[in-house]
Structure 1
């Protein structure tokens, strides 16, 4: 009987062992399943967090790119504004210096007209050179001889003087001035001494705000008749600017042939005085802004070369030379016999002026 129980006991032991192992495995499986669920949950949480972070990263990346783009635009705008500011400051400074140069030019003309040599000497550069001609005073001078030359030049008391035409203009660090003058002096014999001519000067900027005369030429090249012709020429140009037909006719209609030539704009062509009247009666404006002039004398006639900006009506503004010829009619009255207006580069004006003072 005992031998029959052994298999049963072994089977029971095996069943118990299997049950125990199954219980242990089931516990391990449950534990592993729980851990797996926890890990899977953590994974899904991490995965969700990852995509959230990725989305936030992309958002931040886009915002960074937008900020970077805005920064680039801001830097560009800043540089543009800085460039404009520097340009404006430079332009303002340049314009201010040019205005100071022009102011010094007018100041020197006032001293020359009044014969105020002491004040004029404060505006002379240390290397000033030029030419003086007035009465019996003729000759070139340098900084070493200018005092004696001017003392002789203004040796007689100035009874009256006038500068009926003065033009001052500035280009870069050089200012140019030119004037038509007449002096009436009394010499030591109480005789009247009359002088008529043209003054030319250039001023240079020697330091910020300080301008000095480095060249001055005073030519006693006119007499009372040619001085009157010169005045008539300038009055004629003023009448053109004012569209004063009667004033223009006073100078171009007379006993001598006369013509006007315009070499630019839609009004280009040759005109008789009557035809030119029609132009002045038609246009709304005839603007002449002068830079400089030269006068040459041929017997009892004169030629004026006049540099200016010109615009006729609403046309483009042209840099031009105006060449006038004027002479006395048989009855002794002045007449402008030719007016030639030709467009030229502004550099030509500068070169011609530079030649005068070279």
Structure 2
């Protein structure tokens, strides 16, 4: 049995959204950890409106058991962080787990559905202690929370706020607080190092290539959501100076042309190959799409400054401890 729900949205939350004191449950029928089990609380604002309705947010708190034995994860960034902190995942949408994160799955890990649909019967049969959702799977909360305590770790606030909030929370859940703190310190140092490199790199343009078309990525200007956060990462997190001050206005939110690249001529092109990230069959690789006479006239091409970012890290996962380090390494690659 599968169920599909519209994707939910979450409002901005600070890292303090992880509440370590007990709070009321969102619903009296919500599952609760076993009597006497140590728990922590996680709170967020959940969109309870329908798919075509204006968002309506409801404060939601879920009690989560500490050191759960059986964890089901629909959010790949959370799977990354759980594994990096020494945890193991019993169930996930197996076809969507990137190769570099598969080591964090149990040897007998079961398929929990897809990023958009949950196999409720399969999940219930394994009696999980904790379910983690986020992004594409946020709309599954109601059905999954009826099975086991379910938390939504979608992007909330800035990328770095979300990284700190989720890593800190999962560290508390797994009893790996010290490891979580050390990982965050190392990642923040890496981000600062990357920013120092981009500060001297001139202008840049984030570019997504899909279906042979180009889309210019825009900064979020502090208003990151699950939908636009991945586009703004190169500017918002890593400090790249946009070649166009208002990318969204300059492009009208539409695909851009090769002539657009030549006209604005950024020093660097930061390219995400969406088709490679999603495994689109028969798609032309981004490097092939950009191999043409017009692009050859750009500064980025002539100076060998077209950077092909890890497509899975930047488009599918874009979060988690290991993945953030992959992003850092991509940016540091221009340092020579």
Q: Computing the radius of gyration over CA atoms, which structure comes out larger, 1 or 2? A: 1
TM-score band w.r.t. shorter chain: under 0.3
When normalised by structure 1's length, the TM-score is 0.22
More strand by share: 1
- Higher RCO (CA < 8 A, seq sep 6+): 2
